[in-house]
């Protein structure tokens, strides 16, 4: 997902697809263009392999801690009640 493009899309009142489609950053170094688009997942797989081995960087740990703190008090049942007619 190209977050700058996603943010711009959202700020201009255009819905971002929730069907699994993502906005691609065609200028990213791991994306090649030609008759199609190819995205190398090597960099991402390297991160996953590092995590699987328990190798977390200080940034990984800080991000995980902040994400967990953001979920404190999250109650899906309360949110769901607001959606019910």
pLDDT above 70 coverage of the chain, percent: 72
Q: What is the pLDDT of residue 65?
A: 93
Quote the number of domains for the chain: 2
Higher pLDDT, 61 or 7: 61
47 and 36, same domain (yes or no): no
Q: Which domain holds residue 12?
A: 1-40
Claim to verify: residue 35 and residue 45 sit in the same structural domain: no
Whether the per-residue pLDDT at 72 is higher than 70: the answer is yes
Which H/E stretch holds residue 37? strand 37-39
Residues 50 and 85 in one domain: yes
| For range 9-37, the mean pLDDT | 70
In angstroms, rounded to a whole number, what is the distance separating the alpha carbons of residues 16 and 76? 22
Residues 19 and 36 in one domain: yes
Q: How far apart are CA 22 and CA 6, in angstroms?
A: 9
Q: Give 36's pLDDT tier (boundaries 50, 70, 90).
A: confident
One domain for residues 4 and 35: yes
The band of 16, judged by pLDDT with boundaries at 50, 70 and 90, is low
- Give residue 4's pLDDT band: very low, low, confident or very high (50, 70, 90): low
Question: Read out DSSP for 10-59?
Answer: HHTT-PPP-SS-----TTSTTEEESSSEEE--HHHHHHHHHHHTT---HH
């Amino acid at each position: 997902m190209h977050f700058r493009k996603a943010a711009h899309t959202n700020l201009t009142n255009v819905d971002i697809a929730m069907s699994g489609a993502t906005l691609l950053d065609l200028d990213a170094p791991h994306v090649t263009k030609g008759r199609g688009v190819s995205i190398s997942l090597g960099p991402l797989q390297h991160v996953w392999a590092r995590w699987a081995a328990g190798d977390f960087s200080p940034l990984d740990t800080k991000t995980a801690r902040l994400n967990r703190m953001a979920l404190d008090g999250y109650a899906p049942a309360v949110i769901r009640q607001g959606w019910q007619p």
